[in-house]
Structure 1
Amino acid sequence: MTDRERLRTTFGEDAARYHRARPGYPAELFTRLSGPRVLEIGPGTGQATLPLTSLGDVTAVELSPSLAAVARAHVPAAHVVVADFDVWPLPPEPFDLVVSATAFHWLDPATRMARCAAALRPGGALAVISTHHVAGGTDRFFAEVQDVYERWDPDTPPGFRQPDAAEIPCEFDESALFDEPEFHRYEWDRAYTSESYVDLLLTYSNHIALPDRDRLVADIAALIDTRFGGRIVKRYMTQLAIARTRM
């Protein structure tokens, strides 16, 4: 089993935490998308699924049964399927839009573009939404927390700092099946208490799988409480990449 295959199964370990802690997506992002037949890959507990239902009928394919159960309760209008999209039998009627929000990188890189193209009608759109952690917010906290990561996570690059949003490359899989993608970016901030920030960290696969994760998050919470008054602000950059199948 590869790291990709192993880590992508960790998110369902605490579906309730995932649902309450994971950030959503900027509302204006969804105004650039259109249905009416929408396929979502990797919906988690439905953070993007709910706004997608305003576009039309949504079929959402989720690997984790526990995450899918929460998504069904959160977005009853969507049809949530428990399956591995890499091998899920595509329905005979094509979709107008395929969306993957913070999940596309978990798909098999050798087949994901071809399978998305096969799921779409001619001229249909693939929308890949990615979430990036960028410089901003409480900058001093993110500088000081580096020492905590270097203490408990052996894979932490020494002296790491969050990049500026402009430094994040516009990446999209090259494929002869799609036209050139267009990119749209949204920067936004979210405030966290020490408790809510630990909640967030424990939804990330690399934190979940870390042997010393309890010591890591305990030290991070203590840093927030003792040095930052119990509250920090984190900056995100959400990127939307849209490409249409070639006619």
Structure 2
Amino acid sequence: MSRVFGEVAALYDEVRPGYPDELLEALTAYHGGVPASVADLGAGTGKGTELLLRLGVPVTAVEPDARMAEILARKFPAAEVVNTAFEQWSPPPGGVGLIGSATAWHWMDPATRCRRVHEALVPRGTLAIFHNRHGYAEPPQQQVIDGIMQAVDPAQTVDDRPVDWARADLEHSGLFTGTEVHEWHRHPVFSKAEYLSLVRTFSTYRQHSPEDQQLVMTNLGAAIDSWGGTLRMDIHTVLVLGRATT
């Protein structure tokens, strides 16, 4: 499933929201300044890489899907793009000062991801796990959209994980200390076309048959038309920070 986004790599790059500038401020404050080097794991087309490059230090972007990595390399020539899975990546000798993972931590092997990152970091290096939760500003609209998605997959549920689920992962590993959680909300207005394009990049949509996908598109489009043709979203960005134990 982590490779399914490559099928719509260009669309993903076009419509997926990026991350707020405040995230970079929180990250550098936690780290105690600018790290000497950065790695971005599961970099995709570079939504997180773009932010991390602003640190002005060497950035290695690790992405397993060649179609995503191609866009990433074209957009951000300053980054060293490594087209491989995190589990096959060889960190540089001596480790990396900061490792970021933007909307990718949940795709990595839960049994080994904390240990592998700990081994890749310098002593007391920083791990920054961040992602966007795509919600809706109006609860009744949220309920309608959830119902449309669940109509083609009754087993599908809304993401009900705690916002700090990654912090629990780090703390449970015993390999990270001083964890922090930061959150931001943005409320952009999407046109019907923009929102339907966004949905086409969701794994919960892409895993279904073409027939079910078309049904979702039809019903979502009708719902948005009934709301005046636009939809105000709640883009909830969550940043989890941890410091590697020595």
TM-score of the pair, normalised by structure 1: 0.88
2:184 paired residue among 183, 186, 205: 186
Q: Which 4+ stretches in 1 moved above 3 angstroms?
A: none
Alignment correspondent of 1:231 = 230
> Residues of 1 paired with 2:43 and 2:190: CA distance?
23
Alignment correspondent of 1:44 = 44
> Residues of 2 paired with 1:18 and 1:118: CA distance?
31
> Residues of 2 paired with 1:184 and 1:147: CA distance?
30
State how 1:182-221 maps to structure 2 within 5 Å: 182-211=180-209, 212-221=212-221
Alignment correspondent of 2:72 = 71
Alignment correspondent of 1:141 = 141
> Residues of 2 paired with 1:36 and 1:219: CA distance?
49
Secondary structure of residue in 2 paired with 1:92: coil
Letter in 2 for 1:25: Y
Secondary structure of residue in 2 paired with 1:108: coil
State how 1:235-246 maps to structure 2 within 5 Å: 235-246=234-245
Secondary structure of residue in 1 paired with 2:87: coil
The yes-or-no answer on 1:15 pairing with 2:13 is no
Contact 2:41–2:101 (8 Å) recurs in 1: yes
Q: Aligned-pair distance for 1:219?
A: 1.3
Question: Residues 44-96 of structure 1: CA distance to partner in whole angstroms, max 9, x if unpaired?
Answer: 11111112112111000001101111111111111111001012222213110
- Of all paired residues, the percent bearing the same amino acid is 33
Alignment correspondent of 1:3 = none
Letter in 2 for 1:142: Q
Alignment correspondent of 2:109 = 108
The yes-or-no answer on 1:128 pairing with 2:129 is yes
Letter in 2 for 1:96: G
TM-score of the pair, normalised by structure 2: 0.89
Secondary structure of residue in 2 paired with 1:181: strand
In the alignment, structure 1 segments of 5+ residues that lack a partner are 1-6
Q: Aligned-pair distance for 1:178?
A: 1.3
Question: Residues 115-148 of structure 1: CA distance to partner in whole angstroms, max 9, x if unpaired?
Answer: 10111111110011022244x5133322223332
Q: Number of matched residues?
A: 233
In structure 2, do the counterparts of structure 1 residues 146 and 112 end up closer, same or farther at CA, with 3 Å as the change threshold?
closer
Contact 2:124–2:245 (8 Å) recurs in 1: yes
User: RMSD over aligned Cα, in angstroms?
Assistant: 1.8
> Residues of 2 paired with 1:215 and 1:235: CA distance?
24
Secondary structure of residue in 2 paired with 1:154: coil
Contact 2:102–2:130 (8 Å) recurs in 1: yes
In the alignment, structure 2 segments of 5+ residues that lack a partner are 28-33
In structure 2, do the counterparts of structure 1 residues 146 and 116 end up closer, same or farther at CA, with 3 Å as the change threshold?
closer
In structure 2, do the counterparts of structure 1 residues 246 and 195 end up closer, same or farther at CA, with 3 Å as the change threshold?
same
> Residues of 2 paired with 1:26 and 1:168: CA distance?
21
Q: Aligned-pair distance for 1:22?
A: 0.7
Alignment correspondent of 2:154 = 154
Q: Aligned-pair distance for 1:189?
A: 1.2
